[in-house]
Structure 1
Amino acid sequence: MSLKGISKTTVANMIGLLDQLEELEGIIGNDPQGCDQIRNLKGDLIETYQKYECMVREITEQVGVYQDLYGKIRFRFVPEKLKSLRRIIPQDSDEFVLLKESIHKSHLI
């Protein structure tokens, strides 16, 4: 199953359709359990969509937190740390090779 957003319009249209079905069931006087089933399905749909909206808000907030943290690490911490290490690691050492690889990798991210 692919993951895609749930359209508020689609949900509203489905609720409208269920309302119409409930109205029709009431007008023609068919099985009262049919109306109960429609009301239950409509309630479940509304509750499920409200939970979905809450989760989307939480995910949106978490993405914002992640982006802030990533930006701090990527644009402040890593460059400052690499610059300070570059000043203290001798250029002829094995560690300097690793430092150069880290600097190169930081530019690819």
Structure 2
Amino acid sequence: MNWIPLTNLEQLENIGQADGFSVIFKHSTRCSVSLMAKKKFEHDWDAIPAETSIYFLDLISNREVSNTIAQKFSVHHESPQLLLIKNGECVYETSHGEISAEELAEQMAYQA
């Protein structure tokens, strides 16, 4: 799998209009907890269906996109944070040490 850099509001609008699942990983480049969560997630992300679009948001560089995510998907801002979007709605979110690719895959199967 590869990260899709999330850098602008147009991409966010496309995620909101997409059919099926999209994943957003919000990451702070200034936070060691965020780095650890990212590494753990990447280590296990083979558990996630290969066709899943996984977006990576550097929230330090893209603060406007980060703020819009909180508003658009009605979630409280966290960092690191993982959101599962299905048909334009956030159906699952978690943060910090709770971020898990395996748990995300389970949520996708449950939400299907």
With the length of structure 1 as denominator, give the TM-score of the two structures. 0.21
Which one has the bigger strand percentage?
2
User: Which has the larger Rg?
Assistant: 1
Which one has the bigger helix percentage?
1
With the length of structure 2 as denominator, give the TM-score of the two structures. 0.21
